[in-house]
Structure 1
Amino acid sequence: MIIPSNITWFDDDDYIGLELAFPKGSTWKLDKKIQEHEDIYGQTDHEEGGIISEARAAFIGSKVSGEGPSTAVIKIHMQIPWWGSAGKKPSIRAKQAISDTPSRGEMEVEALSTLTTAGCSSAPSLIDWMQREQTQDQWVPGGYIHFVVMEMVPGVDVSSVWNRMERDERDELRAAFKKSWLECTACGVISRDSGLQNLLWDRARKKCYLIDWEMYRPARQRDRAWSDRNYIRWNLARKGESGDYNDMSTWIL
């Protein structure tokens, strides 16, 4: 198991205030970093397994010019050096460069494009995206850096409020989630990354949004039938020790 690098890959000095011009004509400025994550692997994983180390970050951005809303979420996927090589010279790190489109970024664009085209109201709409090669002063010169601009939907992170909800509100959230899940599925996609962390809850409108579409699959016809077990898959309910998967009345709600 690789130990976390403890490196800030998206330093505020480099990214906050950065303006990005996208292919469809809009320009966005990065205002605030929401979070960042890394998947970092060793040299052997890269050379023998083809596994790419990647850092991902989400920012709140404001529109500088072009069409669209005044604010949006901008997600960045960026190749990073394999474990232990971040301090090497740029010319050494450049030998690791992969220019292919990152799978997570590509999948999110595909999913959001499908949902946006279908007019789905239960997921962020896709605004624009682009991919560039990293420059000589970035982590892997010549490696990919991929940007996605999407609608900033309202709501609070369910994983941060779930334990403080009263039963009535949890019931409201489950009902809203079911409606949104069915809408996304009817629009043609199913998330493969189920969990509270990928839900936003708009209390005022009693609306649940499914976010983070980096892992999805096309919905088949047989997928479109609702199962209450989806509540368990998304951690919106628990079976408990004495519960029955086929009887929701026995679950911990």
Structure 2
Amino acid sequence: MDASAPRQPDEFFGTTIEFDDGTSYERCQSITDYRRDPGESRILYICRRTQKSGNGSDLTSQHSEQEEFVMKVKVQVPPRSASTDPKEPLPGPSETTAAELKALRLFRDSSAEGVPHYINSKCSPQGSDGPFPGGYISYTVMTKMPGQDLMAAKFWSLSDAEKEERRQAFLRVLKSIWRLGIAPYDCALRNVLWDPEQRKCSIVDFEHYHPAKDPINMHTTEEMQRWGLVQRPPPSHWAIEWGLIKEPGATY
């Protein structure tokens, strides 16, 4: 292995993660590759609960032993040269993790459909074997949403009727989370899942969002364009001629 390569998170934490309430989860297979974000690395796993909390009062006791969840692990890493990454170890969690925890708890408390719910979380200092000793390592456990993301499902290869069915299902979920005050702006097909059995969409990844307006004012076509569910119209010739936008492929 290249000694200069960043360490994978699972090189320094165990297979079973115990949370502060005594609940523990076994991480199973990874569902994403290692990813480096500003100041931290991340990876997602499928996990299963192996032990309930001692008092039995946590929400995880409502789920079966074999039920699968998603565990997101984020680790503070040393700063890159000439970057704005934090230079000192931080207690965490990061701003994006804190934002997602707030959204997940809101979804759980409001019994929102089509979005993941909060299950458990933990943030603690790395040990001496971590990539940034003393920096944070955070774990977020959430419900696993069914289906395949629309990018992997080759959304644009589907029939017109299939695409329209998914668009309408997506809008129902998006409007419902706008009503809760959350408007995601990490808009991509990879964050939209389709469940072929229930014929429903779900939306995942709530690290980035703005306060939402009333969905009655939503411009649905523009929203679907932002998420990649509707193609944007080609630029007009006069806009290119007047320099308001660049001609596609232009390098000037």
- The structure 1 residue matched to 2:141, chosen from 127, 145, 149, is 149
1:18 to 15, 35, 40: 15
Cα pair 1:58 1:73 within 8 Å, conserved: yes
User: How much has 1:21 moved relative to structure 2?
Assistant: 1.7
Deviation at 1:156, TM superposition (A): 0.1
**Map 1:87-166 → 2, pairs under 5 A:** 96-161=88-153, 162-166=155-159
CA contact (8 A) 2:77 2:132 kept: yes
Secondary structure of the equivalent of 1:108?
A: helix
For residue 102 of structure 2, what is the amino acid of its counterpart?
A: E
- Relative to its length, the structure with more helix (as a share) is 1
> Is 2:191 the counterpart of 1:198?
yes
Aligned to 1:62: 48
Name the counterpart of 1:50: none
1:39 aligns with 2:41: no
Q: Which residue of 2 aligns with 1:185?
A: 178
Percent identity among equivalent residues?
25
Q: CA deviation at 1:181?
A: 0.6
Please give the per-residue CA displacement for 1:142-165, whole angstroms capped at 9, x wherever unaligned: 001111000001010111121332
Runs (4+) off by over 6 Å: none
Check the 8 A contact 2:73/2:137 in 1, yes or no: yes
Equivalent residue for 2:73, pick from 60, 71, 76: 76
**How many residues are aligned here?**
214
Equivalent residue of 2:92, what SS?
Answer: coil
Q: Alpha-carbon deviation of 1:14?
A: 4.4
What root-mean-square deviation, in Å, do the aligned CA atoms of Structure 1 and Structure 2 show? 2.1
1:28 aligns with 2:25: yes
TM normalised by structure 2 equals 0.78
Question: What stretches of structure 1 of length at least 5 have no aligned partner?
Answer: 41-52, 85-94, 244-253
Q: Which amino acid aligns with 1:21?
A: E
**8 Å Cα contact 1:191-1:216 kept in structure 2:** yes
- Map Cα deviations across residues 86-122 of structure 1 (whole Å, 9 max, x no partner): xxxxxxxxx7312232011101001111111111011
| Distance (whole Å) between structure 2 residues aligned to residue 179 and residue 140 of structure 1 | 42
